[in-house]
Structure 1
Amino acid sequence: MPVSSTDLIHHNYVPPAGFAAPQPGVFKASTVYFPNVAAMRQFEWKDKSAYTYGLHGTPTSYTLEERLCTLEGGKQCLLVPSGLAAIATVALALLRSGDEVLIPDNAYGPNKALAEGELSHWGITHRFYNPLHPQDLAAKITPQTRLVWLEAAGSVTLEFPDLLEQVRICKAAGVICALDNTWGAGLAFAPFDLQPGSKTPLAVDISVHALTKYPNGGGDVLMGSIVTQDDALHMRLKLCHMRLGLGVAANDVESVLRGLPSLKLRYTAHDEAARALAQWCLTRPEFAQVLHPALANSPGHRHWQVLCQGGPGTAAGLFSVIFKPDYTQAQVDAFCDGLKLFEIGYSWGGPVSLVMPYQLVSMRTHWPEHLARGTLVRFSIGLESVEDLRADLAAALRLLA
């Protein structure tokens, strides 16, 4: 007789245990089965001791969370649909009406927009501080300050702050500090051990990471993470995460897990190529300034040296240039359009090099004193040949003549 659909759905075959391969299995689930009612009532998702529902975790998501804790030196991890979702989750979990959040003026733009939009609508105030002057951060902390965002290096302009002093200031004031650690990727420095070997450990409270960038490495996945060491703080974040119904797709988790084994190799390659091209840009007469933390004249270079110990593998594959003010925005746009190997696109960390012109005046409260006047362009260096990328830049610069 023909097979029944019931037989196909309730099939009694179970694969034998003991299968092992380079990549972990991919478990997709909304519904999770319980062996009996007693187990359903006893299983607990908050401590990862069991599985209860797809949003609360599967073997696949638990595996990535644990590996990210190892990468950044944390204890607990949450996965969210993007880096911005990680930032928003921290804000929603920790801030209430009447509270204040402090943000560096060179922070990731959507973080600032979140504070100016949704947070302000909910009665949460914000102020921007100068990331290169720790005393400005200290002066702006008030009894209403509940959260301070840190970023190393800064978005687009790549200034490297005195992160150690910033964290000390937050600790002394009893204010939670959250670091956007996407640039460092868990490799440039350890956010939960900022002074390795020191008798006085220094750590951020929260590290958020856009896994979209280097951990994935393919330019085809959106995901973020929130890593902590403190169990109570993690639970505040986790309960908010649960109430918001945030989840990530198993196949996206698989992609990030596949990217992690090559993360350090890729990060080093991006780093070395970006440094070589940034050094070459220093020789070009078209640029008023080249911004890369490893360059001696780049803002915050000394702080980068202290925290990242110099040397290859301790800087992301990003750098920016500021064209001399003689060049118009139209000319700079033509330069970007003239590049053949650099695609015009946001984000970074993938195999393809990217270029993006920015109107910095619209991104800062005022023009930073440490930056030359002119039009800024940011490069994300991919995994192409450095010689080919250099030739592409040179050819596009000739269009300015």
Structure 2
Amino acid sequence: MTDISTSLVKPASDIPDGFASLSQGVFHASTIVFPDVASFLHRQAQAHTGYSYGQNGTPTHYALANKLSELEGGGYTVLVPTGLASAVLVNSMLLAAGDHVLLPDSIYGPTLETTKTLFAKWGVRHSIYPNDIGAGIADFFEDNTKLVWTESPASNSMEMQDIPAIVAAAHARQIKVVMDNTWATALGFRALDAGVDFSIQALTKYVGGHSDLLMGAVSTRDEAAYHALRDTAELLGYYVAPDECFLALRGLPTLALRLERQYVSALRIAAFLQSHAAIAQLNYPPLPGDNYHHLWKRDFKLGNGLLSFSLKQDNLPAIEKFVAALQLFTLGNSWGGVHSLIAVAPQRAPKTGWLLRLHVGVEHVDDLLADLERALATLD
């Protein structure tokens, strides 16, 4: 008879069949086992569609990737540890020494920094183009331009881009286009439908929705590019834990509900701020009168809870006083969850002064408006 210590090492057997749940199972694994030598020796052949090693995916990983591809309107999705890792993955897969990449002047700061530091060190050259250039981006192309980055709206300034025009100009020269679509998610704007080659997002934000996970994703409809992304992610050592995947899967069923509520609340708050005497400038493209409302109205189906503004008293003591008076907007450097947040940042050059960014959560909008009104009153 087998010793009990040996029996305890083996997986449990005789588990009843017939279990069904509305919740995705969480599978933890580093080692994947195989029935025979032949399947073991050919395990890498199924690394992108099956199971070869824990880093390459478990049923929990595939469940999330498949749901995100469905959200994007079809295609393939690669999961990575953070939103920034999504940007690094696309650059790493597409760019080589001697290549040229274009980034808009409103791009997410860390995306720019990794391009300027890591990829410049590896021989990739970058240029910055005006955010609102549209089809005029063709004037910035070089013979070795391989990739155009876009982000619309930008996550601080809320500046928007003419994505279809940029895509058309880039594709005419066989140049790939990637879009950071974290602000809208594919519920608000289907980047792949607009011809974008790679749609990235920080799942940390709206997909997760509860400020308790870090993850990113890259989606594409190009099967060959998907396999290249998977291969590159493996070379970079990227891995996402199944528990994080479960948290993202938990957020997906309420994604539309949360966005719809936050969008409605943000519209009211944006309208209030736009007409307030203490506000110098309000940035929220879904609001009529915003400089980019025409692009948002043409291309987007849904807004969200992220907006920014500047105060007429554009000095740090006034900003500190205003932020200290808030009770429901917590000071924190992220967004996309159910809680309302405020962040403070210097304006990006050549602008000067300070920018305040609000993330509108799911709290009752009347309470949020009262909180802002009280805090703004301290500046009178």
Is TM-score (shorter-chain normalized) higher than 0.5?
Answer: yes
Q: Does the aligned pair in 1 maintain the 2:48–2:56 contact within 8 Å? A: no
- 2: distance between equivalents of 1:182 and 1:334? 31
Alignment-derived partner of residue 368 in structure 2: 389
Alignment-derived partner of residue 241 in structure 1: 233
Q: Which amino acid aligns with 2:154?
A: G
- 1: distance between equivalents of 2:107 and 2:72? 20
Identity %: 36
2:345 is the alignment partner of 1:399: no
2:243 is the alignment partner of 1:251: yes
Q: Does the aligned pair in 2 maintain the 1:191–1:207 contact within 8 Å? A: yes
- 1: distance between equivalents of 2:272 and 2:264? 13
Q: Does the aligned pair in 2 maintain the 1:132–1:300 contact within 8 Å? A: no
Q: Does the aligned pair in 2 maintain the 1:290–1:322 contact within 8 Å? A: yes
User: In the TM superposition, what is the alpha-carbon distance from 1:120 to its structure 2 partner?
Assistant: 1.4
Q: Does the aligned pair in 2 maintain the 1:333–1:357 contact within 8 Å? A: no
Alignment-derived partner of residue 330 in structure 1: 317
- 2: distance between equivalents of 1:131 and 1:171? 18
User: In the TM superposition, what is the alpha-carbon distance from 1:54 to its structure 2 partner?
Assistant: 0.3
- 2: distance between equivalents of 1:385 and 1:308? 25
**TM-score, with length taken from structure 1:** 0.91
The 3 A distance-change label for structure 1 pair 46 and 299 is farther
Alignment-derived partner of residue 318 in structure 1: 306
**SS in structure 1 at match of 2:46:** coil
- 2: distance between equivalents of 1:183 and 1:17? 43
Deviations 1:281-327 (A, max 9, x none): 11200111111011222222111111015xxxx01211111112x44
Aligned ranges for residues 338-377 of structure 1 at < 5 Å? 338-360=325-347, 363-364=348-349, 366-367=350-351, 374-377=353-356
Aligned ranges for residues 192-341 of structure 1 at < 5 Å? 192-194=192-194, 203-309=195-301, 314-324=302-312, 326-341=313-328
**SS in structure 2 at match of 1:268:** helix
Q: Which amino acid aligns with 2:304?
A: A
2:359 is the alignment partner of 1:380: yes
The 3 A distance-change label for structure 1 pair 11 and 55 is closer
Q: Which amino acid aligns with 1:90?
A: V
- 2: distance between equivalents of 1:338 and 1:123? 48
**SS in structure 1 at match of 2:344:** strand
- 2: distance between equivalents of 1:111 and 1:164? 22
User: In the TM superposition, what is the alpha-carbon distance from 1:386 to its structure 2 partner?
Assistant: 0.6
Q: Does the aligned pair in 1 maintain the 2:270–2:284 contact within 8 Å? A: yes
- 2: distance between equivalents of 1:263 and 1:385? 18
User: In the TM superposition, what is the alpha-carbon distance from 1:136 to its structure 2 partner?
Assistant: 4.4
**SS in structure 2 at match of 1:186:** helix
- 2: distance between equivalents of 1:107 and 1:305? 21
Q: Which amino acid aligns with 1:278?
A: A
User: In the TM superposition, what is the alpha-carbon distance from 1:47 to its structure 2 partner?
Assistant: 3.9
Q: Does the aligned pair in 2 maintain the 1:130–1:136 contact within 8 Å? A: no
The 3 A distance-change label for structure 1 pair 152 and 4 is same
Range that drifts further, 162-171 or 82-91: 162-171
- 2: distance between equivalents of 1:14 and 1:274? 53
Deviations 1:103-130 (A, max 9, x none): 1111111011111211111121111111
Q: Does the aligned pair in 2 maintain the 1:295–1:301 contact within 8 Å? A: yes
Q: Does the aligned pair in 1 maintain the 2:135–2:165 contact within 8 Å? A: no
**SS in structure 2 at match of 1:352:** coil
Range that drifts further, 25-34 or 330-339: 330-339
Q: Which runs of 5 or more residues in structure 2 are unaligned? A: none
2:18 is the alignment partner of 1:18: yes
Q: Which runs of 5 or more residues in structure 1 are unaligned? A: 195-202, 368-372
Give the 4+ runs in structure 1 shifted more than 4 A: none
Aligned length: 379
User: In the TM superposition, what is the alpha-carbon distance from 1:98 to its structure 2 partner?
Assistant: 1.2
- 1: distance between equivalents of 2:64 and 2:289? 38
**TM-score, with length taken from structure 2:** 0.96
Deviations 1:238-279 (A, max 9, x none): 111111111111111111111111111011111111111001
Q: Does the aligned pair in 1 maintain the 2:66–2:77 contact within 8 Å? A: yes
Q: Does the aligned pair in 2 maintain the 1:93–1:237 contact within 8 Å? A: yes
- 2: distance between equivalents of 1:3 and 1:281? 72
Aligned ranges for residues 82-231 of structure 1 at < 5 Å? 82-194=82-194, 203-231=195-223
- 2: distance between equivalents of 1:165 and 1:38? 51
Q: Which amino acid aligns with 2:168?
A: R
Q: Which amino acid aligns with 1:348?
A: W
- 1: distance between equivalents of 2:119 and 2:59? 35
The 3 A distance-change label for structure 1 pair 27 and 14 is farther
The 3 A distance-change label for structure 1 pair 118 and 20 is same
- 2: distance between equivalents of 1:340 and 1:171? 49
User: In the TM superposition, what is the alpha-carbon distance from 1:12 to its structure 2 partner?
Assistant: 5.2
- 1: distance between equivalents of 2:33 and 2:217? 27
